[in-house]
């Protein structure tokens, strides 16, 4: 109900918006399937802006990587090939470690902890985005990340040589440190990757496994709550600067509503999708104590590596987060 009211408030602002000289349409590339909650929230956001500007700024979403594949969306918006887009920022950690602040293993394991971290880290990430010619609008977390395997896994030794679908710098590093073979694959392609044996495992949320019906190929989901990565929505900086204040106001109100709706839906989707994996025939259980402690040791290595790369800015974020907990 609260979310609905936020959306209504965003749309209600519509009436008071002064009309820009010419109506514009902005294409919004998104990487995940139209039925995924991020994509649905993005579609609501687009409608909120379209309605809120009386159609003067129409935003049209293109889910499933149909306009640009996931790994090209950030560059497309930076260079103005698209004015707005959504992307999993941690896939760009190689460009700047701060993009991977949401993927430090075991730093946070719940939505509440994650939101606290993001309150501290978000402004710093927005600054990095501005250097990349992007204006940050809003972001939404995925549910906690767990491990998917075809065969049972009780320890890191069981992972040796397994082909592992990665989606970011941290996921690829996790594969290396556990002796697996990382293959970077966008979510839109994973059903095919599992069907053809290009990969036999991944780390992801219950949401992505459920959305892609991975029970057709994989049998085990181990709950480890490694981290909660975010999808961010951002605008080409020049396009943003070209908007009048009233339109920026509508965008900001719609972004705030989208952020709130996205967080609520991500939380709701967590148990729903883990149950969906069970109904699909998968075993869903906590990882063994051995596996948890081995993964924590690997997580400590990855945390050190991240801190070494992210320098003072990264250390300040982690210190501030830990001080508040």
Residue closer to ligand PCA by CB (options 167, 306) is 167
CB of 262 vs ligand PCA, minimal distance in Å: 13
The span from the CA of 237 to the CA of 84, in Å, is: 10
How many residues belong to the chain? 325
CA distances for 70 relative to 89, 212, 240, 272, angstroms: 10, 16, 22, 25
Q: Are strands 181-184 and 163-166 parallel, antiparallel or unpaired?
A: parallel
Contacting positions for ligand PCA (CB under 6 A): 88, 142, 167, 187, 204-205, 207-208, 229
Residue closer to ligand PCA by CB (options 7, 37) is 37
CB of 204 vs ligand PCA, minimal distance in Å: 4
The span from the CA of 20 to the CA of 54, in Å, is: 10
CB of 164 vs ligand PCA, minimal distance in Å: 12
DSSP per residue, 30-50: -SS-TTSHHHHHHHHHHHHHH
CB of 242 vs ligand PCA, minimal distance in Å: 32
Residue closer to ligand PCA by CB (options 84, 88) is 88
Closest residue to bound ligand PCA by CB: 205
Residue closer to ligand PCA by CB (options 52, 144) is 144
CB of 29 vs ligand PCA, minimal distance in Å: 15
Residue closer to ligand PCA by CB (options 17, 224) is 224
Extended beta strands in the chain, E state = 24-29, 57-62, 84-88, 134-141, 146-149, 163-166, 181-184, 201-204, 220-223, 230-236, 283-286
């Amino acid at each position: 109900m609260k979310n609905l009211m936020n959306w209504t408030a965003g749309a209600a602002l519509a009436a008071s918006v002064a009309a820009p000289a010419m109506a514009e349409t902005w294409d919004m590339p998104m990487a995940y399937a139209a039925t995924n909650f991020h994509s649905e929230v993005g579609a609501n956001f687009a409608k909120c802006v379209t309605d809120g500007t009386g159609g003067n700024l129409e935003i049209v979403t293109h889910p499933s990587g149909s306009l640009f594949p996931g790994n090209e969306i950030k560059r497309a918006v930076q260079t103005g090939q698209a004015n707005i887009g959504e992307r999993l920022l941690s896939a760009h950690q190689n460009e700047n470690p701060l993009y991977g602040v949401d993927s430090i293993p075991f730093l946070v394991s719940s939505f509440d902890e994650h939101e606290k971290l993001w309150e501290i880290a978000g402004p710093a990430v927005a600054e990095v985005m501005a250097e990349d010619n992007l204006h940050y609008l809003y972001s939404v977390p995925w549910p906690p990340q767990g491990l998917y395997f075809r065969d049972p896994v009780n320890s890191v030794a069981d992972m040796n040589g397994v082909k592992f679908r990665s989606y970011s710098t941290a996921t690829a590093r996790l594969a290396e440190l556990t002796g697996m073979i990382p293959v970077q694959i966008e979510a839109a392609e994973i059903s095919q990757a599992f069907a053809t044996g290009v990969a036999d495992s991944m780390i992801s949320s219950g949401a992505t496994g459920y959305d892609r019906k991975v029970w057709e190929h994989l049998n085990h989901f181990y709950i480890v709550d490694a981290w909660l990565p975010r999808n961010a929505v951002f605008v080409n900086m020049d396009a943003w600067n070209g908007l009048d204040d009233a339109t920026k106001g509508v965008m900001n109100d719609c972004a705030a509503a989208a952020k709130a709706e996205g967080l609520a839906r991500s939380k709701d989707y967590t148990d729903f999708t883990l149950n969906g994996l069970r109904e699909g025939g998968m075993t869903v259980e906590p990882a063994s104590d051995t596996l948890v402690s081995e993964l924590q040791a690997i997580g400590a290595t990855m945390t050190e590596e991240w801190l070494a790369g992210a320098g003072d800015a990264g250390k300040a974020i982690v210190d501030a987060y830990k001080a508040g907990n």
